[in-house]
Chains A and B, each alone.
Chain A
Amino acid sequence: MSDRKKKSGKPGGTPGPEGVDAPDAGEAHEDSASASASRTDASAVDSTAPEPEGAGGNAESAAVEEAPKSQTVLREILESSTLVVIMAIVASLAIGGILIVFADEQVREAATYFFARPGDTFSAMGDALGSAYSAIFQGAVLNFNADTFAGMIRPFTQTLTMATPLIFAGLGLGIGFRAGLFNIGAQGQLLIGATLGAYVGFAWHLPWGIHLIVAILGCALGGAIWGFIPGFLKARTGAHEVIVTIMLNYIALNLVAWLLTLEAFQREGSDNPITPIVDETAQYPLLLGSGFNLHWGFVLALACAWGVWWLMERSTLGFELRAVGANPHAARTAGMNVSKGYILVMVIAGALAGLAGSAQVLGTEKVLTTATAGSLGFDAITVALLGRSRPVGTIMAAILFGGLRAAGPTLQVQAGLPVDIVFVIQALIVLFIAAPPLVRSIFRLPAPAHEKEVAA
């Protein structure tokens, strides 16, 4: 490229008519045999024309680099996966809107006499969309109808509360993904972590402060043990982690179901499979006082996110893990211990999933049941993928999903819509994220990378 520019620079010295340049441009065209190349070349020629003599060389090349640079920045923004992610969310909400319209009873009722009075249908559609999106906003971000400031911001704190377990588990899964392990086992790891933590929480009675720490460590340990098993099997026997972790999810669920039939895990005088409430000393303290559910687990989750960032980006171990993920054979050849890497990744991921369990049993729910894990372990996979396995991305994705979950009750109660809409929107987001070209073509975003003919 630079070679060619110099070439065109020379004749630029003579303030000649276009005719002089023409053969040169033609030559370039032949050289590259590509339309795009000739176009850039032509613009380079144009810009050189008014340039005074002598100054030619340096100033000109600087100018040439300057102009595309600003373009590149813009293009990078447009091409960036972040924009695709945001647009995927927008598209999902829009499609969700279509479903909302059809799920609404008034719309369906009005649609039966659409041709008699179409206005009814449209106003019903407008009402449905308005109430649905305002319910989502009021449920997840700000409630304008509240009388007090606390009431107004409560939804957002609820979003953060819902996001907490997803951050923990998503971080753990993200580490696995970057190390090349597709860990499906967050569900089981979470459940075992929650079991151990909850047991410490209700069966042991320790002093304030120590109790919480021990219970948190219990959660992490439980998850770590459940993560160690597939890591160890993968490292030693080559057993595929996807299959092993899925199976361990079932084992964890049934193990917990069995434990909950034991007296030791049940409340006194009751046979229901639900543990006693964990001691207050073992619960995460509330972060913003009793009016909010947000607890210190959220802060711990942020701290873990920083820790994961440091581990993966700054530490030697993180470099090794990433190397293992990129190419295990090369990593082995370079003298890295791949087996150790697999085990470590699964143990860390398990511990983080266990901490997600702590957000449930020591934070919001305070009891253990077979339903403790909900679908958190699987939602966390989506969160990690949506966040591109990076800590900040995971936090953002978790907050997004937490918000959608937090909006569920208002969506149902206020707007009278089925909560399934939330899951459809979540699923659509995943669908769009998985197909970036689809999003780009919908929003006419330039394609990424090397082919630069798009602009013009």
Chain B
Amino acid sequence: MKNTIRFGAIAAAGALALAACSSAPEEEPTSSATGGTETEAPAESVDYKACMVSDQGGFDDASFNQSAYEGLQRAAAELGVEVAEAESTAESDYGPNLDAQVAAGCDLIITVGFLLGDATATAAAANPDTHFAIVDFGYDEPIENIKPMFFETDEAAFLAGYAAASASGTGTIGTFGGINIPTVSIFMDGFLAGANYYNEQKGGDVTVLGWDGAEGSFSGDFEDQTQGQNITQGFLDQGADIVMPVAGPVGLGAASAIQADGNSWLVGVDSDWTQSAPDYADIVFTSVLKQISNAVFDTIEASMAEFTNDPYVGTLENGGVGVADFAEGTVSDEVVTELETIAAAIMNGEIEPSTAG
């Protein structure tokens, strides 16, 4: 007994000593004066509070929660707005998180994902003076104080599909998703339609594995990278040489399979993967960009002046979606010109970038 206590005391003292040591070296590089002024003079602050509630994925999901959160952080840094965030860990957190943010005096509350659709509508009805915005979800009936934000990612994926079809050496490309939900399958729709359009225009015979417009390959979640690796390996074995994983971090599994193969390419989604997954930068064919972060930032900035419940729709036209630069030497100048024409046609509605119908 006494020995235990003695040991405990020594351990505690040791821990304290270590803690003191660890704070000491930090003190030397940063001069104490700057440390002091930094705390006293925060960034220019304005009287506006923007808040955000994540869905179950949390703000570190390497997917849309994270993108949205980056937009919020940017608003804090550049616009000087006060921010608060609440991570949901279960469905039953949505309502309480929203209530807590309303109570904390948030002017604009941004919720992320369709799962929060009901909770946001309920909170909006109960608090008509607070403004809300929701990422990746729209309501059938517009709600006075909710601004829906969604993205026509099929427009950008269409371009990626067309380019991939033109660049494929084997005539086979593939795509798979995390879970079969609209925000995922819309990428696959566009990719498939783009490839089909290429076949139509050029009389090609490029096959798309993993998606037929209704059914396809899904890894089952947004976590299991091994699963992504297996699916991708399956595609590669069937002759695919360009694969687009629409599954958040699961795509990293796909990337490792492609890198091991050495002779194929990856299409990133959401962000530019040459930036977000630099380890795989040399196998990224292009990325289908979904600029949630920009949309969140713009929405906060616009709402500070005047809030409207007009939906924000990210398109090729307003830059809410887009494609990143193609890997060098994969796409001919001719195709690049064609893509520009196609993009223009999508913007003015001549091309419907989805396979529906």
Contact = CB atoms under 8 A, between A and B. Distances in A.
Contacts of B180: 261, 273
Interface stretch (A113-121, A225-233, A235-243, A385-393): A113-121
A131 interface: no
Contact of A112 (B35, B84, B95): B35
A409 interface: yes
Interface in B133-151: 137, 140
A416 interface: yes
- Interface size range on A against B: 35 or more
B14 interface: no
A413 B84 contact: yes
Interface stretch (B96-104, B168-176, B249-257, B336-344): B96-104
A371 B51 CA distance: 23
A419 B114 contact: no
A372 B115 CA distance: 10
Contacts of A419: 86-87, 89
Interface string A240-274: 00000000000000100100010000000111111
A164 B100 CA distance: 21
Given A360-B92, A364-B95, A419-B89, A109 B35 contact: yes
A273 B39 contact: no
Contact of A409 (B4, B24, B30, B86): B86
Interface in B170-190: 179-182, 185
B152 interface: no
B122 to A, nearest CB: 10
B353 to A, nearest CB: 17
A447 to B, nearest CB: 8
A112 B32 CA distance: 7
Residues of A contacting B: mostly = loop
B223 interface: no
B91 interface: yes
A413 B5 CA distance: 39
A406 B117 CA distance: 21
A369 B96 contact: no
B142 to A, nearest CB: 15
Residues of B contacting A: mostly = helix
Contacts of B86: 408-409, 412-413, 419
A371 B24 contact: no
A413 B51 contact: yes
A307 interface: no
Contact of A418 (B4, B38, B87): B87
B104 A413 contact: yes
B345 to A, nearest CB: 26
Interface in B70-120: 84-87, 89-93, 95-97, 99-101, 103-104, 114-115, 117-118
Nearest to A115: B27
Contacts of A106: 39
Contact of A271 (B91, B95, B103, B182): B182
Contacts of A293: 95
Interface string A396-436: 00000000011011101110101100010000000000000
A84 interface: no
Interface string A344-379: 000000000000000010001111011110111000
Nearest to A422: B89
A265 B228 CA distance: 27
Contacts of B278: none
Contact of B118 (A114, A162, A277, A375): A277
Interface in B250-308: none
A412 B91 CA distance: 16
A310 B77 CA distance: 60
Given A257-B179, A272-B114, A406-B96, A412 B35 contact: no
12 contacts: A109-B35, A113-B35, A115-B27, A116-B35, A254-B220, A271-B181, A271-B185, A273-B179, A374-B89, A375-B90, A408-B96, A413-B51
Interface of B: 1, 4-5, 8, 23-24, 26-27, 30, 32, 35-36, 38-39, 51, 55-56, 84-87, 89-93, 95-97, 99-101, 103-104, 114-115, 117-118, 137, 140, 179-182, 185, 220
